[in-house]
Amino acid sequence: MTGFMCSSICYCACCSFYPWRPDPSKQIKFLVDLLSQAAEWEEQTGEKTLKLVSSVCTYSTFPYRHGDNYKQSDFLLDLYSHVKGYETQTGRSFLPALQTVYQLASPAFWSIDLSERKASLLLEVLKLQPEKKPVELKGWSDEESEVRSFLQCLPYISQLSFTPPQDQRRSPEERRKRERTFLLNLCLQAALHERETIQTAIEKVLSLSKVYHNQKCDFLLDLYSHVKDYETQTGRRVLPALQTVYQSAPAVWSIDLSENKASLLLEVLKLQPEKKPVELKGWSDEESEVRSFLQCLPYMSQMR
């Protein structure tokens, strides 16, 4: 059987599957078995069988004749995971033979649910890409280790977007809040573990995602509040790592005081090396809030 399958590959132009199969596990098992048999045949004959197998899989829409980003993403991520697991079990090396497959057979964007797959798997696959690609998150985990792993993916991503869950149980407002929290958690992990490059990480998060598009002030105010809450919950000191970020803050602070507390603006303004203009998009007439905003005046150069 080994010889027959490997000999047959010589006459194949490409290897493809039907995309409408609901469970691609059998297709993946077939490919892993094929790689295994190709490795055995190569050992026995000296023929470059693994290279031959990879050549019939090296086309842009692999493993399907026609492109489907979602199915292709799932398949390639699962295939990588299974092949890596098989390597661990057998001690054989197959992934180098698949490198050209992942370099060429890459979807227009990677789609992944990080509540089902590890971010570390996505990172390994993204590293094989010849260029940065957009990533679409269908779901994610708020677990610190997973957020930290996804942080490592950012240098290999050209754009980050979120897909509304199919069940639609959350309102659009709730979904946006979850998306913001995930982005804030990314920056929190950068502050905890990548202090030397924290400013770069924050700029990267802002540039990749449209969630805070053109809303840097809102983002920095939310981040300050988010990190402060984390400090209260854990007892860890994180804000000092963000000091350089806030010292090189926007030229003009823009805030809606009907949504954010004036006391939050005061704390952020105190970190500035010089007075900055403040633009009010909204405000509260509540006495305590007006009084809090009064404390901000010494740190402002202008009010708009």
User: Average pLDDT of each block of 10 consecutive residues along the chain (304 residues)?
Assistant: 54 68 81 84 82 83 83 92 92 87 87 91 94 93 93 95 74 87 96 89 89 84 96 95 88 88 92 93 88 94 92
Q: What are phi and psi of 278, to 5 degrees?
A: -125, 130
> Taking the CB of residue 234, how many other CB atoms lie within 10 A of it?
10
- This prediction has a pTM of 0.86
Quick one: which of 177, 184, 135, 139 has its CA closest to 160? 135
- Give residue 168's pLDDT: 61
CA dist 47 → 3, 5, 8 (Å): 11, 14, 14
Rounded distance, CA 104 to CA 129, Å?
A: 8
What is the DSSP-derived secondary structure letter of residue 196? G
- Give residue 189's pLDDT: 96
- ∠ Cα 183 118 225 (to 5°): 20
Quick one: which of 82, 78, 87, 143 has its CA closest to 111? 78
- Give residue 2's pLDDT: 47
- Give residue 1's pLDDT: 41
What's the helix, strand, coil split of the chain in %, to 5?
A: 55, 10, 30
Bridge partners, residue 278, by sequence: 253, 303
